[in-house]
Structure formats: C-alpha cells, structure tokens
Structure 1
Amino acid sequence: MPSVRTDADDLVVPLHVEELSVTRRRVVGQTVRISTATHEREQLVDEELTHHLVEIERVAVGRVVDSVPPVREEGDVTIVPIVQEVVFIERRLVLKEEVHMRRVRVTTRHTETVTLREQEAVITRNAPGQPAIADDPQSLDDKSTTLLQEQQT
C-alpha cells in the first residue's frame, strides 16, 4: 500500500491491513428418519342384511283349458301354469296345477369382527455424529423407511 501524507507533513505508513474472505462449506447436520408404522385394531361390524326367500306352493286346479295360460303375476305372487295333455275321444288341455311363487323379504342381524389397519408417520431425529439406527427396529416398516440428512451451509 502506498504511504499517505497529511496536512502537517506527517507521513503515515500503514503497517498491517486486514482483508475479509468469505467461503462456504457443507456440514452434515441432524439425520432425519421418516417411517410408517402400521397398527391394527379390531372393530365390530353390526349391520342389517336383507335377502329374499322364495316360497313355493303347488295349487291343484284340474280345469280344462283351450291353450296354455301365460305366466302371470298377482301382487307379489308369480303364477306358472303346468299343463298336461289328456287323451279323451278328443284332445283337450287340462290345467293340472299352478305353481305360486311368493317373494318374502327377510331381515337378519349380522355381527362380525373385522381387522382395520392404520398407518402413521414416525419421525426420529439424531444429532450429528449419532448413528441413524432405530432403537427398536421391529417397530419400523423397513419397506417405507426414508433417511434424509439436513445440510447446513
């Protein structure tokens, strides 16, 4: 550095000058472990189930008819005609019987215990220099474990 003169003819010579130099470096900080833990719990399911039964009733008729009657419905009953050919001097259709089918609604109570699974995130932080190993490795799901390192700059 050059010397500096002041008004009174004094000569000032700098002997030492400090300069600032700034640099950055990465330092490993805490280790963060994020894992999932699956818990199971039993829950009772109690719901009404509805299903239909079909009651079959055979009704004898024994009436002569000219043609086969069609399947018909009367209210909640479906009637299926059953015919038989009987040989007389002439041929006639005789309505032998009818099958009456009635739908009956049945409601029952069904109780069952089911297993439900629930996952939660478990976050563990280790200070710098500590190993990133869980205290209880059985409590972690190894398939979903992720390790992150925080970087300080």
Structure 2
Amino acid sequence: MPLVEERLAVARRAVETGRVRIHLSTATEDALVQETLRGERMEVERVTLGLEVATAPAVREEEDGAVLVVPVLEEILVVERRLVLKEELRIRRIATTETVEETVPLRRQVASVERLPGAAARSPEDQARPEDGTGDPA
C-alpha cells in the first residue's frame, strides 16, 4: 500500500500595489535684509610746532585714547646740532554706524506627490507588457 504525505511549500513574490511620482520645483523669493554695520575711519591732522627738544618725544595717546600723537623729528645743522620737533601727526579714531538694506534671493523647493495605480490595478494587457525593459512585469 503506497503512503501519501502532504508537504507545505511557502514562496514569496513581489506584487506592485501602486507607484508614486514626485516632482520637485524650486521657487525663488526676495527677502529684505537690514543690518547695522560698524566701521572706523582715520583722520590725520598735521600740527606744525617747530620746537627745539633735547630728546625725541615718545608716541602717546590723548583724549582717553581717541587720538594717537606721533612726533615727526628733523635734524638741522647749525654750528651745533639741535633736535627740533617739527610737527605731530594727530590720528583720531572716528566710529561710524550705517544701516544697510539689501534684497537677497532665497530658494525654496516644493515637492508634489502624484499616486499612480500599480500592476494589480492595471488591465491584463498592460500587465503582459513590462515597463522596465527586463522582461519581468514586476
């Protein structure tokens, strides 16, 4: 008497249930930027002195550091040599502020999603034609 036995075989296959098409578009909009800029400029004032000095004066600051005084010396030949403080350069630091407005283009991408029917929802003729060119209807 022949014996019969049933066996279970489980297999998997991919079934397309739908597709998604995504479109990206980039939009540009102008944004107004306003900022205060700080800066400094230097102003040089020449002060003629013509004073005889025994030694060269040092560079110094005046008006709480707002003015830098740089002595300019000249030797002149007389019967004897004398040191004459010819002039001083007074360099003043002037702080400035300026408000600047500028239009800057900003880009933003927008994605739109379009759902397409999958292979299971297509007609039998469409399923027989593969879309990826491999021969698999996937």
Global fold match (TM > 0.5): yes
Q: Deviations over 1:120-143 (max 9, x none)?
A: 44332211259xxxxxxxxxxxxx
Matched, 1:68 2:56: yes
Structure 1: stretches of 5+ with no match in the other structure? 1-19, 131-153
> d(CA) in 2 for partners of 1:21 and 1:82?
104
The 3 A distance-change label for structure 1 pair 89 and 29 is: same
Give the deviation of 1:33 after TM superposition. 3.0
Partner of 2:70: 80
> d(CA) in 1 for partners of 2:72 and 2:26?
62
> d(CA) in 2 for partners of 1:59 and 1:29?
90
Taking every aligned residue pair, what percent have the same amino acid on both sides?
43
Partner of 1:124: 114
> d(CA) in 1 for partners of 2:73 and 2:12?
101
Which residues of 2 match residues 1-153 of structure 1 at below 5 A? 24-74=12-62, 75=64, 76-128=66-118
> d(CA) in 1 for partners of 2:12 and 2:76?
110
Please report the TM-score for the alignment, with normalisation by the length of structure 1: 0.64
RMSD of aligned Cα (Å): 2.3
Aligned length: 111
Structure 2: stretches of 5+ with no match in the other structure? 1-7, 122-138
Secondary structure of the 1:27 match is coil
